[in-house]
Structure 1
Amino acid sequence: MPTKRSPAHPGGILKRHYLEPLSLTISMVATALGVSRKTVSKIVNEHGDITPDMSLRLAKAFRTTPELWLNLQRNYDLWHASHDSHAWQRARIVMAHSTHGSAHSRSAWAF
């Protein structure tokens, strides 16, 4: 069941746990990451996403893992998809739980 409170945007985590405590500016981080100031600004201000490429850059710069950044982004995106869009609720179950035979057998399909 989805939670009521949104997970933190990865840009907020970057700002609160890395930039502020280390007294880093957006320009300093952009230079270290080899990206534009605009790119980092969008992420820090929660208007940009963490891409796989950016996760690798952040992991190297802050000695974390790319998975940390990608998981933060994934959790944020999934929460918003489940709360902001009801389209997913119209999806139908394709596979019924089956205790007999293979899950790939035609009888397991629930149409």
Structure 2
Amino acid sequence: MTRFTDRCPAHPGEILREDVIPATAKPKAEVARMLGISRQHLYDILSERKPVSAEVAVRLGKLFGNAPLFWVRLQGAYDAWNATRNVDVSNIPTLHAAE
């Protein structure tokens, strides 16, 4: 399978906002309550202003019946893609194993 490295991976908030929460037919405020987080925290994740922390990933995994690692990996892919484009590594050498 070929990965499209020019395209930013989806933020977990986008997946929650566009697919997961609508499939539940529950109001966002109720989802926040069930997760045990504030409505504002959930809204910040949904608007992609906050990342999904490991703690929130555990809560999401329990609520939606999947693994916390699913949410952590989504966040990690999003963060790594953005960091690769924003962090200047031009002065950092690449080490190679001794032969």
Unaligned runs of 5+ in 2: none
| Match of residue 98 from structure 2 | 98
Deviation at 1:2, TM superposition (A): 7.8
Q: Which has the larger radius of gyration?
A: 1
Deviation at 1:26, TM superposition (A): 1.6
Deviation at 1:20, TM superposition (A): 1.2
Aligned length: 97
TM-score (norm 2): 0.89
Q: 1:60 aligns with which of 53, 59, 62?
A: 62
Unaligned runs of 5+ in 1: 100-111
TM-score (norm 1): 0.80
RMSD: 1.7
Superposed CA offset, 1:16-54 (max 9, x none): 221112222220111100110000000011111110100
Matches within 5 A, 1:32-111: 32-83=34-85, 85-93=86-94, 95-99=95-99
CA–CA distance in 2 between the matches of 1:44 and 1:11? 4
CA–CA distance in 2 between the matches of 1:37 and 1:45? 12
CA–CA distance in 1 between the matches of 2:63 and 2:34? 7
Q: 1:12 aligns with which of 11, 14, 29?
A: 14
CA–CA distance in 2 between the matches of 1:51 and 1:16? 19
CA–CA distance in 2 between the matches of 1:76 and 1:24? 26
Q: Are the equivalent residues in 2 in contact too, given 1:2–1:82 (CA < 8 A)?
A: no
Q: Percent identity?
A: 30
After superposing on structure 2, the runs of 4+ consecutive aligned residues of structure 1 that deviate more than 3 Å are none
SS in structure 2 opposite 1:21?
Answer: helix
